[in-house]
Chain A
Amino acid sequence: LAKTTQPISMDSYEGQEVNITCSHNNIATNDYITWYQQFPSQGPRFIIQGYKTKVTNEVASLFIPADRKSSTLSLPRVSLSDTAVYYCLVASNTGGGNKLTFGTGTQLKVEL
């Protein structure tokens, strides 16, 4: 099963670009990488998902190198409202079900 490792915390200022990297050395051939954002006392919400190279949507970009052993979530021009915990998740199909295990996440703090 792919285990993920992320920095525990990051600090930034409004208007800056933030890059959060996740390591997943044991990722399997068919696994995708998914990122979630969580605010206090709420459930995580989906941000972006990718398999390889680069994916971009209206809120973020996801960069995945050729070996797929890591991925980087890029948040352009962050604001105070981006202060949250960010999780990367790699699905592992065990055959008996879809065991989705989260890592500890990265606490992003954005200041003025």
Chain B
Amino acid sequence: DGGITQSPKYLFRKEGQNVTLSCEQNLNHDAMYWYRQDPGQGLRLIYYSQIVNDFQKGDIAEGYSVSREKKESFPLTVTSAQKNPTAFYLCASSDTGVSYNSPLHFGNGTRLTVT
């Protein structure tokens, strides 16, 4: 059953600690994305990757880092430099090998709480 897996579903951290959110896809999609969503708000793009070993900053990349060493994996690290890290984080992928208009497939998100 193909899809995107984000883990864990809930994550709690102390302020000042880095934390890495996992995103794995078995859809064989080229492109992967990370979005942040705050309560009552829309999705804001953090980072995106078109192919392995390449990624681009989105609209709110400060305080975050990513890697794309494998096609199926796109982990997001929330660093201590991110001033307001508590949010709902969503990972997505798309089959841009077909078209850059290919629809996004989303995971079910990780809710990060930093205290």
- Which chain A residues have a beta carbon within 8 Å of chain B's beta carbons? 30-32, 34, 36, 41-46, 49, 87, 89, 91, 93-94, 96-105
**Distance to closest chain A CB from B15 (angstroms):** 24
A49's nearest neighbour on chain B, judged by CB, is: B103
Chain B residues with Cβ under 8 A from A101's Cβ? 45, 58-59
Inter-chain CA distance A17–B110, complex, in Å, is 34
A-B contact pairs, 25 of them (CB 8 A): A32-B99, A41-B109, A41-B111, A43-B90, A43-B92, A43-B108, A43-B109, A44-B43, A44-B90, A44-B104, A45-B106, A91-B100, A97-B31, A97-B48, A98-B94, A99-B45, A99-B58, A100-B45, A100-B94, A100-B104, A101-B45, A101-B59, A102-B35, A102-B45, A104-B42
Contact of B42 among A34, A94, A96, A105 (CB under 8 A): A105
Chain B residues with Cβ under 8 A from A45's Cβ? 106
- Which chain B residues have a beta carbon within 8 Å of chain A's beta carbons? 4, 31, 33, 35, 41-45, 48-50, 54-56, 58-59, 88, 90, 92, 94, 96, 99-101, 103-109, 111
Chain B residues with Cβ under 8 A from A87's Cβ? 42-43
**Distance to closest chain A CB from B85 (angstroms):** 18
If A97-B48, A105-B42 are given as contacts, then 19 extra A-B residue pairs at C-beta distance below 8 Å, sorted by A number, are A31-B101, A32-B101, A34-B101, A41-B111, A46-B105, A91-B100, A91-B101, A96-B56, A97-B50, A97-B56, A98-B48, A98-B96, A98-B100, A99-B48, A100-B33, A100-B48, A100-B94, A103-B42, A104-B41
Chain A residues with Cβ under 8 A from B99's Cβ? 32
User: B103 near A34 (CB under 8 angstroms)?
Assistant: yes
Contact of A49 among B59, B92, B96, B101 (CB under 8 A): B101
**Distance to closest chain A CB from B87 (angstroms):** 12
**Distance to closest chain A CB from B44 (angstroms):** 8
Inter-chain CA distance A103–B106, complex, in Å, is 16
**Distance to closest chain B CB from A42 (angstroms):** 6
Chain B residues with Cβ under 8 A from A99's Cβ? 45, 48, 56, 58
